[in-house]
Amino acid sequence: MNAITADAAAASPDRLRITEVFLSLQGESRSIGWPTVFVRLTGCPLRCQYCDTAYAFHGGEWWTIDAILAEVARHGARHVCVTGGEPLAQKRCIGLLERLCDAGYEVSLETSGAIDIGAVDARVSRVLDIKTPGSAESHRNLWSNLPLLTAHDQVKFVICSREDYEWAKGVVAEHRLADTCDVLFSPSFTEVAPSALADWIVADRLPVRFQLQLHKILWNDEPGR
Ligand code: SF4
């Protein structure tokens, strides 16, 4: 944004702090592989030990919702993913999601699971993390979010160890998550061999989807890809 636009955004009541808006392939979740515009909001109240987007904790620029919509449209993709950081840490994210849905996009939201998802537009597919003990942030899980999930949503566990796997398996069973929505298990990239997690899931016939993060395989997690 130029300085005039940035000043206008800073003064606007519908502004959001944005780290980046970029076009890539969706690297995970049910929409994996689709060309997708990512809107990465700045800031996160969590500090997961494996976080790969710490560059979004601070900084960013103020954008109006109109400016975000215009930038998303410029990229010309059908799928839009609002991510972070923790996007819901900015209250105006709710309005951004609604505007993106109104504009006809297939919208997903990646959220840490630590903030109430109740006000999110029902047209949005919410991809809700459940933080395992290995993340060092499992005490932040907002369990009251789970009854709000629908078949349109997804739940994601990043597995850091065999202990995490057993814990996640227990949570899936206790909350009958597989009966509600897609449940995704991914290995923490440097902590669990993908083949080990795949073997555990198959051996247990667990009703979850194994996932590798495509963007890490393709681009080694370069920001903006
Ligand atoms: S919730 Fe996401 S952005 Fe925040 S620290 Fe954890 S992995 Fe990083």
DSSP, residue by residue, 126-179: EEEE---GGGT-GGG--GGGGGG--TT-EEEEEE-SHHHHHHHHHHHHHTTGGG
pTM tops 0.85, yes or no: yes
Instruction: Pick from 51, 141, 191 the residue to mutate for probing ligand 1's pocket: most ligand atoms within 8 Å of its CB.
Output: 51
Max Cα-Cα span within the chain = 59
165 is in an annotated binding site: no
Q: Is 48 in the pocket of ligand 1 (CB under 6 A)?
A: yes
pLDDT score for 84: 96
Q: Which residue owns the Cα nearest ligand 1 atom 1?
A: 112
Given a contact cutoff of 8 angstroms between Cβ atoms, the answer to whether 147 and 118 are in contact is: no
Query: What would the pLDDT profile of 36-64 be if each residue is shown by its tens digit?
Result: 999 999 999 999 999 999 999 999 999 99
Q: Is 47 in the pocket of ligand 1 (CB under 6 A)?
A: yes
**Average of per-residue pLDDT across 13-31:** 93
Query: Which atom number of ligand 1 is nearest to the Cα of residue 50?
Result: 7
pLDDT score for 213: 83
The full set of domain ranges for the chain reads 3-219
- CATH code matching the domain that covers 3-219, chosen among 3.90.105.10, 3.40.50.300, 3.20.20.70, 3.40.50.2300: 3.20.20.70
Q: Is 111 in the pocket of ligand 1 (CB under 6 A)?
A: no
181 is in an annotated binding site: no
Could you tell me which residue, 30 or 203, shows the higher pLDDT?
203
Question: Half-sphere exposure of residue 99, counting CA atoms within 13 Å on the CB side?
Answer: 16
Whole-number Å distance between alpha carbons of 48 and 37: 24
